[in-house]
Structure 1
C-alpha cells in the first residue's frame, strides 16, 4: 500500500506507478556522481526491489530516494536527490524525513548510507561516521 506526505504544492509518494522514470534515470545516469551511465532498466528494477519515494511538485517529479531494506533490522538509504532547480527550499530535508518516518523503517537496528557531499544534511537525522569502521567491508565490481 502506497503512503504519501503533503506539504504545500509538494507531495512525496511511495507509489512507483506514479514515478517519471525518465526524470529519475536522467538524473541518476547523467548528474549523480554515484551512478554515471546506469541503465534505465536497472533504475526501474532497483525501485521495484526497494522502498522507493518520489517527490513531486504540482504533479511533476522533482526528486527521488529509496531505502533498500528487509524492513526488520537493516536499511540502506540510496539515490537521494532533488533536481537542482528545486534545491534550497528544504525539500531534501523533507524528503529524507518522509523516508525516515515510513512505518516499514521503524525499529531497525541500523540504517546506513554513503555520501561525499551531504554529511550536514544526514547528520541532522542522527547519521554519523561508523562507530567501528574496521568492521565494515565492501566488494566492488571489477572495472
Structure 2
C-alpha cells in the first residue's frame, strides 16, 4: 500500500521524461550515460509506471515493464527520487507494480538488481531456483 500522499499512474503522457532520463542516465548504475533518445524509445515500447506526489503532482519514482501481457514480464528501470528514499516508497511502489501485473496472469516476472534484493524480497520476489538454465546475450 502506498504511503498517503502518493499515487501510481501508467499514463505515459504524464511522465516527466526529462526527469526520468536524468535519474537513470546520471544516477542509476545500470543506465549511466543512456542517451535521451534511447530512453524515449524504451518508454514507447514499455508499460510505464510513474509514482507521483498527489499534492504537487511531481514525479517521485519511475519503473517500466517489458511484457507480452500474457506470459512474461521484465521489471526494470525502477528508480525513486534520491531525496525521497528511506520512507518505504520503493517497496510500496514495487508492490503497486506487482499488483497491477497480477491481473495479466503472467507466468513469470523477472528483474535484475545488484543492491535492492531486500526491497523486492518484501514484495515476493525470490532468487531464481535454477539460475543455471538461464542464459544471456549481450551485457550481463
Matches within 5 A, 1:100-119: 100-102=98-100, 106-119=104-117
CA contact (8 A) 1:75 1:105 kept: no
Cα distance in 2, alignment partners of residues 98 and 35 from structure 1: 23
Q: How many residues align?
A: 137
Cα distance in 2, alignment partners of residues 6 and 126 from structure 1: 16
TM-score by length of 1: 0.89
Secondary structure (helix, strand or coil) at the match of 2:64 reads: strand
User: Larger relative CO (CA 8 A, sep 6+): 1 or 2?
Assistant: 2
Cα distance in 2, alignment partners of residues 22 and 51 from structure 1: 18
**What's the RMSD between the two structures over aligned residues?**
1.7
List runs of 5+ in structure 1 lacking aligned partners. Answer: none
Secondary structure (helix, strand or coil) at the match of 1:64 reads: strand
List runs of 5+ in structure 2 lacking aligned partners. Answer: none
Secondary structure (helix, strand or coil) at the match of 1:102 reads: helix
CA contact (8 A) 2:60 2:80 kept: yes
